Chain A
Amino acid sequence: MKQADPISSRERLTVLRQQLAGRLVGPSPQEQPAPPAGRSLRYLSLGLPPIDAHIGGGLVQGALHEIAGAGADAELALLPAFFAAQVMLQHRNQRAIWIAATPDLYGPGLQAQGLDPTRLLLVESRQEVESLWAVEEAARSGAVSLVIGEIDLLDLTASRRLQLAAEEKNCTILVLRRSRLLGKGGKHRQPSAATTRWLISSLPSRPIDDHRPGLGLPCWHLHLWRQRNGPPGGWDVTLPEQPALQEQPALQGQYWQLRAAEPQRRAAMAANDDSKPFTSKQYRAPAG
């Protein structure tokens, strides 16, 4: 090994020491407000204040978010679709594109939520690879600000690619996990670069009141099981008895709202502590 020049090596050593000291102490707050250099984080509010507060203001814009449906919904991806529809409902001015291999999204169903289906650009892909390509292409185009893709398998590499694509043009990507093989759900536990990862399960509906038996208002459990730089969480949501009748008819729609947790349910949630790592074995769809 060749001996380096003693003076220069001493200088370099000093520099290295300074750098190391800086590392150990940590960056001064002025130096770096988190990695996304040159862009301030903006959020897509979910319209549910406690959840928004929990995740720092809403879904981070220009990032990848992953939503899966629990249990039998892994194949149908209805609950993730509902989540995406609610996000679109809260942010009607976001230009959205919806990419799916199974084109079974139903226009009147979106309309029933209060959305205008014509505003949504829909893409039917033939294969998983094409879906991923289309999601990335749409995110990088800068033409849309919300990309919703129904994707079966999203591995770490693919999710990193999508995360980078999302950052590039500040486009939010919602990946709805949808298993294409019947009975092969539950792959949502793959590692992923997504900023937030949600698992949604349906809950038995809530009767409107005691005098009206039959099908009540639908309820869901939103489980935020992974969040970058934040704790997980779980909330029950439902639809209101009356759809929101805003002054502007353009804003009417069935917005979700938080459901006041019933005592026994709250106890159950306490038992299933949020801070514990979540596994699908532990998770059981709550019995009716």
Chain B
Amino acid sequence: MTASPSPASNTAPLQAKRYLSLWLPHWSTDRWRQAQQGRATKKPVPAEAPVVAICTAAGRRLISAANETAMRLGFIPGLSLADALARRPGLIHFPADPMNDARALQRLAAWALRFSPLVMRDGQDGLLIDITGCAHLWKGEAGLRQDMLDRLQQHGYSCRIGIADTIGAAWAAARFAERSPIMPMGGHRKSLAPLPIDALRIDLATAEALRRLGLRRIGDLYPLPRAAIASRFGRPLLDRLDQSLGDLSEPFEAVFAPPPHRVSQIFAEPIGTAEDIRRSVDLLAEKLAAQLAELGLGARRVKLSCYRLDHQVSEIGIGLSLPSAKAAHLIDLLARKIEQIDPGPGIETTMLSAGKVEALRQSQAGLDAQAPDNHAEGDDVALAGLIDRLGNRLGVGKVYRLAPVESHLPERAAARISPVRRGQAAAWPRIVTASTACYWRPLRLLDHPEPVEDVIALVPDDPPLQFRWRHVLHRVRASAGPERIVWEWWREIDPQSAPPRTSPSAQPVRDYYRVENETGQRFWLYRAGLYRPEQPARWFLHGLFA
């Protein structure tokens, strides 16, 4: 194994990248075995038993993946299950689950963030990690590679890891260079030369054609004129070669965009108590706040990720209504959630990241800019702090303001909006004017109109003389109305959003009455639908007046 060159002897340009390619050759079968072990009821599958995954293609059941033993026995992907069973009747097989394999790979990618923030999924069975500048934390690339190998193999995943300067070279190193999987910096051209041409990530037909010409190793292509390669095998082969050699850049699509603002702390001994986590949060928050403040930014969303010994990540997140770069504020909000962290067997790394940042407004005006009140600006900051504290404990959306909606249906006339930046919301029209002496809307509106019973009305279209609501009989002393409100017909275009016909709110017409009972309680009742002699009127209570 080649040790990584020490920084002193590093002659490569500063932009030199180092990529790690992780290949999990038996990902789906290994994963299946892990799942089997987790189930106590099943009898364990011996590690040496051949196992294959089956998929159905064109009416045939084919092997889609096989473990190492099965591969050695010749049960390679593409073989039909019937053939395989003929050769070995007791062959263990299970239906392939590519979707969950992909999901598990995504989770593995999340776990791999502990090595570097730049992780990319590579096909169905591999990961690609940009480890530029990360290896020194493991005392070199060999240490990092060994650490990753140990951690994965411990859990029964067979894996191969290669490290090189380019994505292509790392890919080749993982899959084809068993003896020297770490290509030294700047040495990938030499290291790639003895590898088979399949290591260039080319399709089988091209590889076969090359082999027929006697070009078996990548090194065989080096002396050939480029124009000849291009005319004989087309552009893709040349591109792949250039990418592997680093002459052509290759896009790296990180699965998780790394939060640009993050600080982390690695512990010599795993921590697990709330006090330790709290101390770590204090430290990290100070660092993060200083980092943000220097850039004139404030965090809107902050996440504390605790990387545990068992490859799990325990996270808590806080949201802020206004960007903040105050450590005390972040600590205050995070400290209230520390108890939600499950430390598991212990936390080895904590990371605080600002997932969403915004420019810090020096004077945080705008919260109440148009308001007639003259509060100091410090109050706005205090209000934002209060909104954050309430929102983080009670839940997002539980702190709100009411904004008007242009709808005359009472239940749709108001909507919740974010508690800050209410300047953006539409203003409530002023209703109280000389012409409309009184505009009556109840102070409280029931979630759903509640049916009332025992309604007695003088004439069917008259307001009721008595009604029973929530088991209490109310005798009506006086009433006013009706106010006719018609269902918004244009909303029925979308049958999904419209309530079913049978629900009270789907009635096309409502006649609302304000009624007062004998003790002075005032209700907002409506009769659903127009009066029809053949069916009794249905009454609902929708709101209550003070």
Q: Which residues of A contact B (CB under 8 A)?
A: 71-73, 76, 78-79, 81-82, 85, 92-95, 97, 104-114, 116-126, 130, 133-134, 137-138, 141-144, 182, 201-205, 213-216, 218-220, 239, 241-243, 245, 249-250, 252-254, 285, 287-288
Do A141 and B382 contact each other (CB < 8 Å), given the known contacts A107-B413, A109-B442, A252-B432?
yes
**B7-15, B55-63, B249-257, B515-523: which one contacts chain A?**
B515-523
Assess the A130–B443 pair: CB atoms within 8 A.
no
A124 to B394, CA, bound (A): 8
Q: Which residues of A contact B479 (CB under 8 A)?
A: 214-215
A104 to B417, CA, bound (A): 15
Q: Which residues of A contact B422 (CB under 8 A)?
A: 118-119
Within 8 A of A (CB), among B388-443: 389-390, 393-394, 398-404, 410, 413-414, 416-417, 419, 422, 425, 427-434, 437-443
Q: Mark B333-376, 1 if CB is under 8 A from A, else 0.
A: 00000000000000000000000000000000000100111110
**B27-35, B144-152, B454-462, B470-478: which one contacts chain A?**
B470-478
Closest B residue by C-beta to A250: B372
B215 interface hit (Cβ, 8 Å): no
Assess the B372–A243 pair: CB atoms within 8 A.
no
Assess the B477–A108 pair: CB atoms within 8 A.
no
Assess the A118–B516 pair: CB atoms within 8 A.
no
Q: Which of A110, A144, A243 interacts with B386 by CB under 8 Å?
A: A144
Q: Which of A118, A122, A205 has the largest count of B CB atoms less than 10 A from its CB?
A: A118
Q: Which 4 A-B pairs give the minimum distances between C-beta atoms?
A: A82-B546, A107-B414, A202-B520, A143-B382
Q: Which residues of B contact A (CB under 8 A)?
A: 368, 371-375, 379, 382-383, 385-387, 389-390, 393-394, 398-404, 410, 413-414, 416-417, 419, 422, 425, 427-434, 437-447, 470, 472, 477-480, 514-516, 518-522, 543-546
Assess the B470–A121 pair: CB atoms within 8 A.
no
Assess the A118–B434 pair: CB atoms within 8 A.
no
Interface of A is mostly: mixed
Do A241 and B520 contact each other (CB < 8 Å), given the known contacts A118-B402, A123-B399, A130-B393?
no
Q: Which of B385, B401, B417, B522 has the largest count of A CB atoms less than 10 A from its CB?
A: B401
Assess the B398–A125 pair: CB atoms within 8 A.
yes
Q: Which of B394, B401, B478, B514 interacts with A120 by CB under 8 Å?
A: B401
Q: Which residues of A contact B419 (CB under 8 A)?
A: 121
Do A141 and B385 contact each other (CB < 8 Å), given the known contacts A78-B545, A118-B402, A249-B430?
yes
Q: Which residues of B contact A133 (CB under 8 A)?
A: 393
Assess the B441–A106 pair: CB atoms within 8 A.
yes
Do A111 and B478 contact each other (CB < 8 Å), given the known contacts A93-B372, A205-B516, A219-B520?
no
